[in-house]
Amino acid sequence: MMKLYVFGWVPDFAVGLVRDLRVRWALEEAGLPYEEQVISHEEKLTDAYKAIQPFGQVPAIEDDDLTLFESGAILLHIASKSDVLLPGDANGKARATAWMISALNSMEGVIQGLVEIDIFNAGADWAKERRPAVIERLEGRLSDLSKALGDKSYLDGETFTVGDLMMVTVLRILRHTDLLAKYPNLNAYKERCEARPAFQKALAAQLATFEREGELKASA
C-alpha cells in the first residue's frame, strides 16, 4: 500500500492547506488506498528523511520500490495508475498536464508571494510596500485564469482532471483574502471541485490526523 508522509501538526494558517492534501485527494479520486506516515518538524530535518524528500518537506510517498517527492510528480504518478485523473487520449493528457504545471508554475509562485507577505512577514515595512505590486500581478493571473476557464465546468472542458485538482489546491491558498470573489466563475469552479466527495474525504483525513496527533501529544 502507498505510504504518504504527512505532518502531525502545523500552524493554524496551514491546517487544511498542507500539500499532502493534493495527494490524498488524488488517491481518493483514483480509489487507491494509502497509509499515513506522520513525521515531526524535527524528523523532517534528518538525513534519513531528506533521503526521501531532499528539502525536508511534505508530501513524499513510498510506493513499492519507488520513493517520490514533489506534489506534481506524485500526482502524475497516481494519475498514471488510474484512468480517472487524466483523459485517455494523448492530447487530452498533455493539456491536463499543462494545466497542472501552470497551477504550480504560473499560479502558485505568485500566490506564495502574497503568503510570504500576509502570513510570514505580516507587519514588516518591506511587506507593506511590496503588497500592492504583488496583488496587481496576482490579479492579472487570476483574471487570465478566469478568462481561460470561461463558462466551462473545468479547465479543459467538461471533464475533471489532475490539472483541476492541482489548480484548486493552489487557489485555496488564497482563503485568507477575498480575491477570488472578484472572479465568480473561478470561485464557483473552486467550490464545484471542493464539493467532490474525494476532496471532502481527503480534507477530513488531513484534519483527522491533526486532531489525533494533537490529542496524542496532549495525553503524553
Ligand X SMILES: N[C@@H](CCC(=O)N[C@@H](CS)C(=O)NCC(=O)O)C(=O)O
57 binds ligand X (CB under 6 A): yes
Chain positions 60 to 79 lying near ligand X, rule: CB under 6 A, are 70-71
Phi-psi region of 123 (alpha: psi -120 to 50; beta: other; left: phi over 0): left
d(C-alpha 164, C-alpha 99), whole Å: 7
Which one of 51-59, 119-127, 144-152, 174-182 is the stretch in contact with ligand X (CB under 6 A)?
51-59
Which one of 52-60, 135-143, 168-176, 198-206 is the stretch in contact with ligand X (CB under 6 A)?
52-60
Closest residue to ligand X: CB criterion: 57
Omega cis (within 30) before 11: no
Question: Contact, 36 vs 209, CB < 8 A?
Answer: yes
113 binds ligand X (CB under 6 A): no
Closest distance of CB 112 from ligand X, Å: 8
115 binds ligand X (CB under 6 A): no
* Residue of 8, 16, 56, 92 that binds ligand X (CB under 6 A): 56
Burial (CB count within 10 angstroms: exposed 0-12, middle 13-18, buried 19+), residue 66: exposed
Question: Contact, 49 vs 29, CB < 8 A?
Answer: no
Closest distance of CB 220 from ligand X, Å: 23
Closest distance of CB 179 from ligand X, Å: 20
* Residue of 2, 4, 6, 18 that binds ligand X (CB under 6 A): 18
d(C-alpha 75, C-alpha 132), whole Å: 33
Burial (CB count within 10 angstroms: exposed 0-12, middle 13-18, buried 19+), residue 208: exposed
Cβ closer to ligand X: 58 or 168? 58
Q: From 16, 3, 5, select the one nearest 210 (Cα to Cα).
A: 16
Q: From 64, 11, 20, select the one nearest 38 (Cα to Cα).
A: 20
Closest distance of CB 8 from ligand X, Å: 12
Cβ closer to ligand X: 105 or 200? 105
Cβ closer to ligand X: 18 or 78? 18
* Residue of 2, 5, 6, 19 that binds ligand X (CB under 6 A): 19
Strands (E), the chain: 2-7, 34-39, 60-63, 66-69
* Residue of 27, 52, 58, 107 that binds ligand X (CB under 6 A): 58
Using CB under 6 A, list all residues that contact ligand X: 18-19, 44, 56-59, 70-71
